[in-house]
Structure 1
Amino acid sequence: MAKKKATKKPCPVCGSMNHTKCTLDDPITNEMLGIEDSAVNHPKHYGGEDDPYEAIKVIEAWGLGFNIGNTVKYLARADKKGKRLEDLKKSLWYLNREIKN
């Protein structure tokens, strides 16, 4: 899809200068939402883009399902967001769910 020509006024919906109004054909980007790309795609609390052991990379490489993948994710970030006990409890919740199902 070709970029739309920049306009003088930002879109009232998303603030983009690339179009005057959002349509269903316009994908919502992190830029439109004001979100830093790395904060969405490779958050530091999950390892970051340059870390070969970033949680999502490990989960995908090992072919883990939803519950075990979330168990690994919360264990991996337990000391990185200042909520260690909460993350450990979340990890345990997903592990228990996997065991029960």
Structure 2
Amino acid sequence: MPDGRYRDDITPQEIQGINKPASALDKQVSGNHYKDCGIQPIEYIHANGLSYFQGNVVKYVTRYKDKAGKADLLKAIHYLELMIELEYSDK
């Protein structure tokens, strides 16, 4: 090559990445419905200390267009109904 490098030469950036452990946030076990998000739902949920119910609402609303559509929105509604029932029921 004209710059003195070979086509298969490794760059310093690639060398640094070799020993860097992969982040769990960089992989998704099933599907790719969160890959294009600016921030993954789990990052938002964790950063804001959301409850299980709140986290599921965020998760299902975030992914509905790319995964299960109306079914995901119905799941989000179900978690909202559970929250209302558990938080505001007459005791």
Work out the CA distance in 2 between the residues paired with 1:99 and 1:69.
15
> What is the total number of aligned residue pairs between the two structures?
61
Query: Which AA in structure 2 matches 1:44?
Result: N
Structure with higher Rg: it is: 2
Deviation per CA, 1:28-64: give whole Å up to 9, x if none: xxxxxxxxx8232x8531x23x854101001111110
Q: Which amino acid aligns with 2:71?
A: E
CA distance in 2 between partners of 1:77 and 1:64 (Å): 17
TM-score normalized by the length of structure 1: 0.53
- Name the CA distance, whole Å, in 2 between partners of 1:87 and 1:76: 9
Provide the alpha-carbon RMSD of the alignment. Answer: 2.2
Aligned amino acid, residue 94 of structure 1: Y
Q: Is the aligned partner of 1:62 residue 2:57?
A: no
Structure of higher RCO (CA pairs closer than 8 Å, 6+ residues apart): 2
Paired AA for residue 99 in structure 1? I
The structure with the largest helix share of the pair is: 2
Unaligned runs of 5+ in 1: 1-36
Equivalent residue for 2:79? 94
Unaligned runs of 5+ in 2: 1-25, 87-91
| TM-score in terms of structure 2 length | 0.58
Superposed, which structure 2 residues align to 1:46-85 within 5 Å?
A: 47-48=34-35, 51-81=37-67, 83-85=68-70
For residues 75 and 51 of structure 1, do their structure 2 counterparts lie closer, same or farther at Cα, with a shift above 3 Å needed? closer
Aligned to 1:33: none
